[in-house]
């Protein structure tokens, strides 16, 4: 995959030695810029906008998110707790498969509980009714699979063949919507408006007969709304039209869009060697700190990378042979102690970090480029590694 982000923004002037290495640095001013764009889209289109915690769950900014958006969407019990504890507004929880004990608590802290299949709703109906009898106020939703693939990479497309995500719309029946207030679909990944428009054109005729039974529609996430070239005016007009023609409340769940181009991952070169090309070992690990580099795969943009000159292969400190970030033309000749930074790392990289091989986790810093205020939010020690194990 090729990332469409990577604008350095204010980080172009940030001194990488202001933080220890490795470190995530998130720019609050950039987060607010993205949130302001999302709020404008929400206000002008008359919809509800939820931040997807699966992409960016830096809860120290929960109160900031609450200033602009209507709440959060969660992917299970822990994210639902985080949303209720640290963010304002609504909590919408979706999970491909609920455990009964988890669902019992989710029903008490969520405003919308979205199921992956009608069978799950039927199986847990007694639990739902019991929670409502105790005063619980929440909606039940059903995730559907529009069976209309738009993904650039099949393995990230929820509409791929034999997908496990959502009830196939071709199988949807009126009986499936008993007690259901809304339909949810999520089919995009880092995409602009046109794939959403095409998806709705394919889906709308199939779900039109059920509009009178419903209260809301949730168009999920994957919308790169805050990207400079996103067709926001078209999106606003589209959402206004769908609201008018369906009579339903609409939700969007942006994740990456909240933190797009708002964070960097700072690293340091530990060693330089030659094996047919220059190779630099860094304290940033692809497998531990940026797993999508291997899983997607993709090549993260580098701050101040040159357009010409010899390439240097950057790899992490772990023993995994594939722990390779990519080949880069560094801002200056590779040398021990050199600081580097990868762009657009606030979303997904932060939530996916792990400690394979005992590689330390990056510390987390919050910077405000508008005021130049910098503070450490969290650093990780040996105990954090040890306490994940037994």
Q: CA 224 to CA 293: how far, in whole Å? A: 19
Residue that wins the pLDDT comparison between 362 and 296: 362
The counts of H helices and E strands in the chain are 13, 17
Q: What is the CATH number of domain 9-25+262-386?
A: 2.40.37.10
pLDDT-derived band of residue 250, with 50, 70 and 90 as boundaries?
A: very high
Q: CA 166 to CA 116: how far, in whole Å? A: 5
pLDDT at 5: 67
Please compute, for residue 136, the number of CA atoms within 13 A of its CA located in the half-sphere on the CB side: 22
With beta carbons less than 8 A apart as the criterion, state whether 158 and 187 touch. yes
pLDDT-derived band of residue 226, with 50, 70 and 90 as boundaries?
A: very high
pLDDT at 3: 66
Instruction: Give CATH 2.40.37.10 domain extents, the chain.
Output: 9-25+262-386
pLDDT at 1: 60
Query: For 376-386, how does the pLDDT look when each residue is reduced to its tens digit (9 = 90+)?
Result: 999 999 999 99
Looking at the chain, which runs of residues are DSSP E strands?
Answer: 23-27, 48-52, 71-74, 90-94, 112-115, 139-145, 167-168, 182-184, 216-218, 249-252, 263-274, 278-282, 312-315, 324-328, 339-343, 363-368, 373-378
Interval 265-286 mean pLDDT:
98
pLDDT at 373: 98
pLDDT at 151: 84
pLDDT-derived band of residue 153, with 50, 70 and 90 as boundaries?
A: confident
With beta carbons less than 8 A apart as the criterion, state whether 303 and 340 touch. yes
Structure tokens at 102: 């988890």
Report which of 319, 219, 314, 243 is spatially closest to residue 273, judged by C-alpha positions. 314
Query: For 348-375, how does the pLDDT look when each residue is reduced to its tens digit (9 = 90+)?
Result: 999 999 999 999 999 999 999 999 999 9
Query: For 121-147, how does the pLDDT look when each residue is reduced to its tens digit (9 = 90+)?
Result: 999 999 999 999 999 999 999 999 999
Residue that wins the pLDDT comparison between 292 and 2: 292
3-class state of residue 362 by DSSP: coil
Q: CA 292 to CA 36: how far, in whole Å? A: 27
Give yes or no for residue 157 having a pLDDT over 70: yes
Does the domain at 46-259 match CATH 3.20.20.10? Answer given as: yes
pLDDT at 155: 87
Q: CA 72 to CA 68: how far, in whole Å? A: 11
For the chain, give the percent of residues with pLDDT over 70: 99
Interval 174-191 mean pLDDT:
95
Interval 326-338 mean pLDDT:
97
With beta carbons less than 8 A apart as the criterion, state whether 193 and 239 touch. no
pLDDT at 174: 96
3-class state of residue 81 by DSSP: helix
Instruction: Give CATH 3.20.20.10 domain extents, the chain.
Output: 46-259
Interval 329-348 mean pLDDT:
97
User: Over the chain, what is the mean pLDDT?
Assistant: 96
Structure tokens at 62: 């929960």
Identify the helix (H) or strand (E) that includes residue 238. helix 232-246
């Amino acid at each position: 995959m090729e990332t469409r982000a990577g604008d350095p923004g204010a980080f172009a002037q940030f001194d990488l030695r202001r933080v220890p290495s490795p470190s995530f640095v998130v720019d609050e001013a950039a987060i607010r810029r993205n949130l302001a764009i999302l709020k404008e889209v929400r206000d002008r289109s008359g919809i509800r906008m939820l931040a997807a915690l699966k992409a960016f769950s830096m809860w120290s900014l929960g109160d900031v998110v609450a200033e602009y958006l209507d709440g959060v969407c969660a992917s299970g019990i822990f994210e639902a707790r985080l949303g209720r504890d640290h963010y304002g507004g609504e909590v919408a929880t979706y999970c491909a498969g609920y455990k009964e004990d988890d669902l019992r608590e989710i029903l008490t802290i969520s405003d919308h509980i979205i199921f992956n299949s009608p069978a799950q709703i039927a199986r847990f109906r007694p639990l739902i009714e019991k929670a409502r009898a105790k005063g619980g106020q929440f909606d039940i939703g059903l995730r559907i699979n529009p069976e209309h693939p738009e993904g650039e990479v099949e393995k990230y497309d929820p509409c791929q063949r034999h997908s496990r995500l959502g009830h196939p719309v071709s199988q949807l029946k009126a009986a499936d919507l008993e007690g259901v207030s809304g339909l949810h679909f999520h089919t995009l990944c880092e995409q602009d408006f046109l794939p959403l428009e095409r998806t709705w054109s394919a889906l709308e005729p199939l779900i039109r007969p059920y509009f009178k039974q419903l209260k809301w529609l949730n168009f999920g996430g994957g919308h790169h709304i805050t990207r400079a070239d996103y067709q926001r005016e078209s999106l606003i007009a589209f959402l206004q039209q769908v609201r008018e023609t369906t009579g339903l409340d609409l939700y969007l769940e942006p994740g990456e869009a909240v933190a797009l181009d708002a964070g960097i991952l700072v690293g340091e070169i530990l060693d330089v060697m030659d094996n047919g090309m220059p190779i630099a070992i860094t304290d940033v690990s692809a497998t531990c700190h940026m797993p999508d580099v291997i899983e997607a795969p993709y090549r993260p943009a580098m701050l101040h990378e040159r357009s010409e000159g010899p390439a240097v292969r950057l790899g992490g400190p772990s023993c995994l042979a594939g722990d390779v970030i990519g080949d880069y033309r560094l801002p200056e000749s590779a040398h021990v102690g050199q600081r580097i930074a990868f762009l657009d790392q606030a979303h997904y990289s932060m939530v996916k970090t792990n400690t394979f091989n005992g590689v330390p986790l990056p510390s987390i810093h919050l910077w405000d480029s508008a005021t130049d205020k910098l503070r450490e939010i969290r650093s990780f020690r040996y105990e954090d590694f040890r306490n994940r194990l037994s």
